[in-house]
Structure 1
């Protein structure tokens, strides 16, 4: 299978990835495929942390636009992420790899509380760790949670799994001729509002020199290719990118 370019990674997936073509909820066939790809990476000896969004079930921001209290909506979104976490945990464990869900809010019947030392110990023992409920605080996205957890567990890279091939100079759907960037720096992302992750997540990554790779998870085998160091998608780094 080749060698991995990283020893420890943090994989960030949006909740929408799990919905497949049905447009809402969880598509079991998609979750099964993702689980197999994650396990293929695990077989290379890579320690894997995962953060999943909850947008396929509920988004706090969308709820607030319809009159729901923003804080209430964000907590509802955190619970939605836990549903996704449990679904992926089940699928990965059916592939034979022990997996732990760690939550930023207390739900002890279904998940462990997030404790950094315990999370790192799970990774060292070969368990996959899925971090749920975002940061546990309203007004922070799961992108920010992914950057935070990556830094806390000392991940070498944050892999942002999306439905597009990487970061473009503009929205390729709206702007004809928009170019895919192979490499870009944090400040360019912030300055031009490029859609990588939210500004808080980018700033946190920049301040801690955490590299980000944005790639298309819908293309089968891409996750393994990225972990092996193949140059696909867009790499967000500190300095020297495109302006």
Structure 2
């Protein structure tokens, strides 16, 4: 199953990012977690031909995540205004006897019904975060301004764009790198076996799977799926 601990899944997001950026960052800072090892190898390979003093193996930096105050603040904000709601919601399902997180099929149904909503709301959170103004704080160093503007127009803040272009050979091979060294997140985050089961049970194709936009509709489908799959089993 896809997981943020799977280095191949994590690396796919990195590949998609640099393709959209049409470049690679000068340095990628990460902690020492094993989920970052594929990103490390891909990034150092893509930076090996740029010839600057931080190219190649110097383009990947390992350190403690707690030393990154900006990202720690983001995680704290995310937990308070986003993650905690979903934790409470799923705990309520457990308390009401609707979810047993020890039963794999229940977790598959949760992913199938709620992952689209979670992703949509996470995208909304990201949009808000990237458009809010970072203000100066006492005893903390760092730039101030709106993250999206800081990223796209660094010269307005006397900053420098430290990304490096993807060379022609890299552009050609990037899809091949992605194919060999990364994994895609499956449809609705579910296993192939579960998706096949839902297709058979509902006599539909996965292309036609609904994308839920409200918690209420997702919960109705969750109840229906659990009931239907229990009958099949």
More RCO (CA 8 Å, sep 6+): 2
Q: Which has the higher strand share?
A: 1
Q: Which has the higher helix share?
A: 2
Q: Same fold (TM over 0.5)?
A: no
Give the structure-2-normalised TM-score. Answer: 0.30
